[in-house]
A and B are shown apart, each in its own frame.
Chain A
């Protein structure tokens, strides 16, 4: 029936060499086991386990302390049981007992570490050196059963959890993601009891609080189960479809996409706007603080993320904003008190911040990288020390600061409570986000990017380096000064000690963790790094430790941040993306070959005729 003999499409069945699959590296697992043991001992000996034991996550059975301790073998066991990445020419790895053994090894490592620690600590008094190794801690670690049976229990728990971590590798992807999702949400909802309970009350669903949370704190068993099941179902049924939705969305015409995005934005703003009403004063207080740090994060993101100028003294601009507001609005300003309103003072705040930007920016124009970081670090400290100094005490009040800063008001509306203050803060955040968003794709944003990439070449293209660096410092300074101004009116007073190096560090860490150059990233970073420690007070003491650990982990596993900008993402994961593309291509080719093979057989006969 076919006049032309079909071209032999099928015959190209490539004789591919497949090397034997690489196996899970047990030596690495054993090493990780050692690491897990050390980590477990470390969090016990530095007091975290005991400090966190007060807070229940699931009422009688699981405290935050135990959760921290037992996540160690579980998570590290899971990591250790990961198969090596598939390389071209190798068979796909088979899952099997080796994964479980890897997890088991980590469990054993953790158990050995903790057991040795408990044994040593119960014989020798370690307290002169390790203050936190208290009898209470040992009791916690042995579940109050005494060293003998308690230790056995601890060992069994660690080994079992490590093995479970390994077993998770054998579970199909979809189920596994759902299990982890369920676990993560259960822990999170348990931790965020204050917020969630408030939410229930605020929404008039107070009865839910009694069902979900135990009277002494923590989720009830029912509550935990419900949360777990809901999260599990979400990850099992909804999340796998997100890709398909996204593909559908991408196919929508551009206008509809735009209106869709606009709608989503409005919805988010409305929900966020209603939050403080529902959540009440305590949580609003935390939200206000998150908002102020978010504002500064957005500003620093311009300086560091866009222009590539590592500024470690960003707190100086925050202080300038706060003190300018204080001097201009407070009747208690020591030397000169014009008692302006916040809004009349604002132009002067902007002016002062711009000046401060120039003052800090000018001397560091010719510096880059590490040198810039150190010098700006110095500027940050200078700002604080000047405010504290006797020399400027007549103007800024020295250590006593400036008190009686009046509340913010617009006409008859006065923003008194934390709930009220949320709105101006949100407003300024939106302004800052809009400015960042506009700048990012502008001519000046482009030039910043080029300058970040290669200063000399950018200069040879005609970019005025001096002007651009100053502009970056000035814009960053102004946004930080908004944060400072709001901080001053919110607290009602300013003191030099509010402007420590820690502020600069927190802002920097939150943009690194969230994702440099990405605006949603800054939001997530602010919530996680400022909001969480405020809500979980026992966390405060370990805040810096947590930042450090978080930074190291981020650099190792997700250098682009939690919500990365597309730019960074592409650049950091080029290799992986390429590998993904290659795997997809292979898959596609195989499928085609199969399809053709299926067609090919009947098609082959007319060819012979």
Chain B
């Protein structure tokens, strides 16, 4: 359906091993500019490994990864981040003993365009006015919701072509989960392509354009979000309907 456009991020038959153990098996994912794509799956299905593979923190044992048409698998993480991928890690994982400002600045670590960084910082403050209030506070002293904002802000500071999000709903109260997903949508509307990995399938599909379902390292379903929501198997396995 998006044939005319080139995917901004593409995984082609990607396999990943941890030692001898086969984690990802022939993963094919395509993400087009401006999309929100979600990767759904239960525990130990390989969601986080997919993200780590994209970022080059684990090297794929076979297959290719393309960013904007250029092959990036096998490159060091620094290089991949520099080319435009950033991540909001699982559980936020802020640099707790550094201030909020320092955390945001770390997000722009590889950039050297002070004006652009300033601009993006303002953008983050627009999205999260609360973050501006806490700028000089240690990140570890923030509440869970605020930490989530800083974590997202930090990833945005890299001005990524694709923003990876690892389980943004994890460990947050239901109200905050909803807020987070609204924010994800908002960021997407500002033009950032988002690839979000989630267990909370309902929530993720409610904002995503398309989704993939991962099961023990294999993509078992790939469709538009709407179709996935209506898919019989999905409803039984992930959407909690009997």
Residues of A within 8 A of B (CB): 443, 446-447, 449-450, 453-454, 456-464, 567, 570-571, 574
> Is the CB of B141 closer than 8 A to any CB of chain A?
yes
Selecting from B18-26, B90-98, B171-179, the interface stretch reads: B90-98
| Minimal beta-carbon separation of A579 from chain B (angstroms) | 14
Specify which of B102, B140, B158 is in contact with A446 (CB 8 Å cutoff). B102
Q: Once bound together, how far apart are the Cα atoms of A464 and B80, in whole Å?
A: 11
Give every chain B residue within 8 A of A450 (Cβ-Cβ): 95, 98, 106, 109
> Is the CB of B82 closer than 8 A to any CB of chain A?
yes
Q: Once bound together, how far apart are the Cα atoms of A462 and B95, in whole Å?
A: 14
B106 in contact with A570 (CB, 8 Å): no
A453 in contact with B77 (CB, 8 Å): no
**Given A571-B140, A574-B141: A460 and B109 interface contact (C-beta under 8 Å):** no
Which of A453, A456, A459, A570 has the largest number of chain B CB atoms within 10 A? A453
Give every chain B residue within 8 A of A463 (Cβ-Cβ): 78, 106, 109
**Given A463-B78, A463-B109: A457 and B138 interface contact (C-beta under 8 Å):** no
In the complex, which residues 137-190 of chain B have their Cβ closer than 8 Å to any Cβ of chain A? 138, 140-141, 154, 158
A457 in contact with B98 (CB, 8 Å): no
Hey, what's the 0/1 contact readout for B56-87 against A, CB within 8 Å counting as 1? 01000000000000000000111001100011
Q: List 19 A-B contacts (CB under 8 A).
A: A446-B106, A447-B109, A449-B97, A450-B95, A450-B106, A453-B95, A453-B96, A453-B97, A453-B98, A454-B95, A459-B77, A460-B55, A460-B87, A460-B89, A462-B81, A463-B78, A464-B78, A571-B140, A574-B141
| Minimal beta-carbon separation of A576 from chain B (angstroms) | 14
Give every chain A residue within 8 A of B81 (Cβ-Cβ): 460-462
Specify which of B57, B76, B77, B97 is in contact with A571 (CB 8 Å cutoff). B97
Give every chain A residue within 8 A of B82 (Cβ-Cβ): 462
The 10 A-B residue pairs whose C-beta atoms are closest, nearest first, are A462-B81, A453-B95, A462-B110, A464-B78, A457-B93, A462-B78, A450-B106, A460-B87, A571-B97, A461-B109
Q: Specify the chain A residue showing the minimal Cβ separation from B140.
A: A571
Q: Once bound together, how far apart are the Cα atoms of A463 and B107, in whole Å?
A: 10
Q: How many A-B residue pairs have CB under 8 A?
A: 65
B158 in contact with A461 (CB, 8 Å): yes
**Given A456-B57, A462-B109: A570 and B93 interface contact (C-beta under 8 Å):** no
Give every chain B residue within 8 A of A454 (Cβ-Cβ): 93, 95
| Minimal beta-carbon separation of B197 from chain A (angstroms) | 14
Hey, what's the 0/1 contact readout for B101-117 against A, CB within 8 Å counting as 1? 01001110110000000
Which of A449, A461, A570 has the largest number of chain B CB atoms within 10 A? A461
| Minimal beta-carbon separation of B32 from chain A (angstroms) | 23
Q: Once bound together, how far apart are the Cα atoms of A449 and B141, in whole Å?
A: 17
| Minimal beta-carbon separation of B18 from chain A (angstroms) | 15
| Minimal beta-carbon separation of A308 from chain B (angstroms) | 10
**Given A458-B106, A463-B78: A449 and B57 interface contact (C-beta under 8 Å):** no
Q: Specify the chain B residue showing the minimal Cβ separation from A568.
A: B97
**Given A571-B140, A574-B141: A462 and B105 interface contact (C-beta under 8 Å):** no
Query: What size tier do the contact residues of chain B reach?
Result: 20 to 34
Q: Once bound together, how far apart are the Cα atoms of A450 and B109, in whole Å?
A: 11
Q: Once bound together, how far apart are the Cα atoms of A446 and B106, in whole Å?
A: 8
Which of B87, B98, B110 has the largest number of chain A CB atoms within 10 A? B98
Q: Specify the chain B residue showing the minimal Cβ separation from A443.
A: B109
Q: Specify the chain A residue showing the minimal Cβ separation from B103.
A: A450
Give every chain A residue within 8 A of B93 (Cβ-Cβ): 454, 456-457
Please give 20 more A-B residue pairs, beta carbons under 8 A apart, in addition to A450-B106, A453-B98, A464-B76.
A449-B98, A454-B95, A457-B93, A458-B95, A459-B57, A460-B57, A460-B87, A461-B81, A461-B86, A461-B107, A461-B109, A461-B110, A462-B78, A462-B81, A462-B109, A462-B158, A463-B109, A464-B78, A567-B97, A571-B140
Give every chain A residue within 8 A of B140 (Cβ-Cβ): 571
Give every chain B residue within 8 A of A460 (Cβ-Cβ): 55, 57, 77, 81, 86-87, 89
| Minimal beta-carbon separation of A567 from chain B (angstroms) | 7
Give every chain A residue within 8 A of B102 (Cβ-Cβ): 446, 449
Q: Specify the chain B residue showing the minimal Cβ separation from A570.
A: B138
Q: Once bound together, how far apart are the Cα atoms of A284 and B81, in whole Å?
A: 53
Q: Once bound together, how far apart are the Cα atoms of A187 and B141, in whole Å?
A: 42
Give every chain B residue within 8 A of A446 (Cβ-Cβ): 102, 105-106, 109
Give every chain B residue within 8 A of A447 (Cβ-Cβ): 106, 109
Q: Once bound together, how far apart are the Cα atoms of A567 and B138, in whole Å?
A: 9
| Minimal beta-carbon separation of A109 from chain B (angstroms) | 40
| Minimal beta-carbon separation of B159 from chain A (angstroms) | 12
Q: Once bound together, how far apart are the Cα atoms of A567 and B97, in whole Å?
A: 8
Q: Once bound together, how far apart are the Cα atoms of A457 and B96, in whole Å?
A: 12
Q: Once bound together, how far apart are the Cα atoms of A381 and B95, in whole Å?
A: 35
Give every chain A residue within 8 A of B77 (Cβ-Cβ): 459-460, 462
Give every chain A residue within 8 A of B55 (Cβ-Cβ): 460
Q: Once bound together, how far apart are the Cα atoms of A444 and B52, in whole Å?
A: 24
Q: Once bound together, how far apart are the Cα atoms of A449 and B89, in whole Å?
A: 18
Give every chain B residue within 8 A of A456 (Cβ-Cβ): 57, 89, 93
Give every chain A residue within 8 A of B110 (Cβ-Cβ): 461-462
Give every chain A residue within 8 A of B78 (Cβ-Cβ): 462-464
Q: Specify the chain B residue showing the minimal Cβ separation from A571.
A: B97
Give every chain A residue within 8 A of B57 (Cβ-Cβ): 456, 459-460
**Given A454-B93, A457-B95: A571 and B106 interface contact (C-beta under 8 Å):** no
**Given A449-B98, A453-B98, A454-B95: A461 and B138 interface contact (C-beta under 8 Å):** no
**Given A459-B77, A461-B81, A461-B109: A449 and B138 interface contact (C-beta under 8 Å):** no
| Minimal beta-carbon separation of A561 from chain B (angstroms) | 15
Q: Once bound together, how far apart are the Cα atoms of A453 and B94, in whole Å?
A: 9
Give every chain A residue within 8 A of B109 (Cβ-Cβ): 443, 446-447, 450, 461-463
Specify which of A458, A459, A462, A571 is in contact with B138 (CB 8 Å cutoff). A571
| Minimal beta-carbon separation of A483 from chain B (angstroms) | 29
Q: Once bound together, how far apart are the Cα atoms of A460 and B77, in whole Å?
A: 7
Q: Once bound together, how far apart are the Cα atoms of A450 and B154, in whole Å?
A: 13
Q: Once bound together, how far apart are the Cα atoms of A326 and B54, in whole Å?
A: 51
Q: Once bound together, how far apart are the Cα atoms of A443 and B106, in whole Å?
A: 9
